[in-house]
Structure 1
Amino acid sequence: MESQNQEQYSASRLLHTQTHIWNHIFSFINSMSLKSAIDLNIPDIIHKHGKPMPLSLLISSLQIHPSKSQNVYRLMLILTHTGFFSLQKLPDEAAEEGYDLTDASNLLLKDNPSSVTPFLLYQLDPILTKPRYKVANWFQNDDPTPFHTAHGKT
């Protein structure tokens, strides 16, 4: 009995540990999805609509290549899951839902004086993300900063 309990504990611990690692491996997807929403102007489009916006209308409001329209659902799924948008039942439609802003996405609106969009775009710009990929190299050389390792200058 004790061996079985140890195996269950060990399996549970392994699953918890793997989950922790997987969450860190894939956490960049959340940041990149959020950046994509900003680049596509999704928060402002939904805000301008003034009420929950059905996916089909959101897609037609975006400046994207038609072959990519089926992928907007996936982007919105991530952004809804991470709390940047919510899905609301549309009052006029029997089964259709629409995307609405949350407190978090309100802070992404261009006209919001408290907007964090400039900071988000700054932090996710390749000029700053590339050095983050070079930290291990920086530890192995005598460059003054990871930025210098990535870009060859301070």
Structure 2
Amino acid sequence: MRVLTLTGVFSVHAGGDDELVYGLTPASRLLVGSGMYVTPFLTLMLGTVFVSSFFDLGEWFRHELLDPSPFKFAHGRHIWDLADHDASFGKLFDDGMVADSSFIMDVVVKECSDVFQGISSLVDVAGTTQTIAKAFPHVESSVLDLPHVVANAPTDTDVKYIAGDMFESIPSANSVFLKRDELEWKKIIFEAGFSSYKIIPVLGVRSIIEVYP
């Protein structure tokens, strides 16, 4: 709770008999069953596996080459590998990513709907497009994800789920959703032959990047 109050997820004030009284903030209202429900993502971020990755930061910084990442340094595997080999963490990771993507997609659809104009097909790589499919039923929406994720995908939806590996191939479409930081994206964009790009802020550090020929 100290972490959550210091980061503004909950408010706190002194009550009677030296007890602390916690309250909801705009952020924590997303944890109590609203339309945008992010509890699985917060559970992932504050779980033992993620938090323990920071316990050995001092030792990690003493290495001449800062590789592997703090997560791999602590657990011996990258996060994707651990999710594949640890069923309980894999379930926690998948649920957290779905909740995070659904939350962001709700914001994107409401605030940046113009970016979907002229699009007839879309592939979301390792994510969820159900929000987009509902908001833009004319768009043929697909999700590319690992086989074990697709095997547990919902069937009562207009979204098509495709089993595959983004590092091997991505199905063709008018548009593709991927998640990277700007430096990685800049490298990918220019190596792919595009001339420029524009970043559209959405929420916090989250943005949409439009690329141009």
- TM-score by length of structure 2 reads 0.26
Query: Which structure is higher in helix share?
Result: 1
- The structure with higher relative contact order (CA 8 Å, sep 6+) is 1
- TM-score by length of structure 1 reads 0.35
Query: Which structure is higher in strand share?
Result: 2
